[in-house]
Chains A and B, each alone.
Chain A
Amino acid sequence: MILTDEKTKYLEEKAKDIRRDIIEMLVEAKSGHTAGALGMVDIFTALYFGILRHDVKKPHWSERDRLVLSNGHICPVLYATLAEAGYFEKKELMTLRKYGSRLQGHPHREFLPFVENSSGPLGEGLSQAVGMALAERIDNPTSQKFFYCLLSDGELEEGSTWEAAMLAGKTKPHNLIAIIDRNNIQIDGHTEDVMPLEPLADKWRAFGWHVLEIDGHNFEEIFAAVGQAKSVFNRPTVIIAHTTPGKGVLEFEGHYEWHGKAPNREEGEMALKELRTLGGRLKGD
Chain B
Amino acid sequence: MINLNPKIYDNDVEQEAIRVGFGRGLVKAGEKDKNVVALCADLKESTKVEDFAKKFPERFVEMGVAEQNMAGVASGMAAMGKIPFMASYAIFSPGRNWEHIRTTICYNNANVKVVGAHAGLNVGPDGGSHQMLEDIALTRVLPNMIVVAPCDALEAEKATLAIAKHVGPAYIRLAREKSPIVTTEESEFEIGKASVLVEPENPEAIIIACGLMVHRALLAARKLEREGIKVSVINNHTIKPLDQVTVLESVKKTNAVVTCEEHQIAGGMGSAVAEFLAQTYPVPIEFVGVANRFGQSGTPAELMEHYGLGVDDIVEAVKKVIIRKNG
| Chain A residues with a Cβ under 8 A of chain B | 66, 68, 108-110, 116-121, 123-136, 138-139, 159-160, 163-164, 166-167, 170-171
Contacts and interface: CB of A to CB of B under 8 A. Distances in A.
A131 B100 contact: no
A167 B108 contact: no
B71 A121 contact: no
A167 B63 contact: yes
A17 B69 CA distance: 37
B68 interface: yes
Measured as residues with beta carbon below 8 angstroms from the partner, the interface class of chain B is 20 to 34
A138 B77 CA distance: 10
Complex A-B, nearest 5 residue pairs according to Cβ-Cβ distance, in ascending order: A131-B76, A127-B72, A163-B69, A131-B73, A135-B80
Given A118-B108, A131-B74, A124 B79 contact: no
Given A109-B108, A128-B72, A167-B64, 13 more contacts: A117-B104, A127-B68, A128-B79, A130-B76, A131-B77, A133-B76, A135-B81, A138-B37, A139-B80, A160-B68, A160-B69, A160-B100, A163-B69
A108 B77 CA distance: 18
Interface in B57-71: 58-59, 61, 63-64, 66, 68-71
B103 A110 contact: no
Which residue among B61, B81, B109 has the maximum number of chain A CB atoms within 10 Å of its CB? B61
Given A134-B77, A167-B66, A108 B107 contact: yes
Nearest to B67: A163
Contacts of A109: 108
Interface of B: 37, 58-59, 61, 63-64, 66, 68-82, 84, 99-100, 103-104, 107-109
Contact of A135 (B37, B68, B69): B37
Nearest to A133: B76
Contacts of B79: 66, 116-117, 128, 131-132, 135
Nearest to A147: B76
Given A108-B107, A109-B108, A131 B58 contact: no
19 contacts: A68-B76, A116-B79, A118-B103, A121-B103, A127-B75, A128-B75, A128-B104, A130-B76, A131-B84, A132-B77, A132-B79, A134-B77, A135-B37, A135-B81, A136-B80, A160-B69, A160-B72, A164-B69, A167-B69
Given A116-B79, A167-B64, A130 B73 contact: yes
A125 B73 CA distance: 9
Nearest to B39: A131
A120 B73 CA distance: 16
Nearest to A116: B79
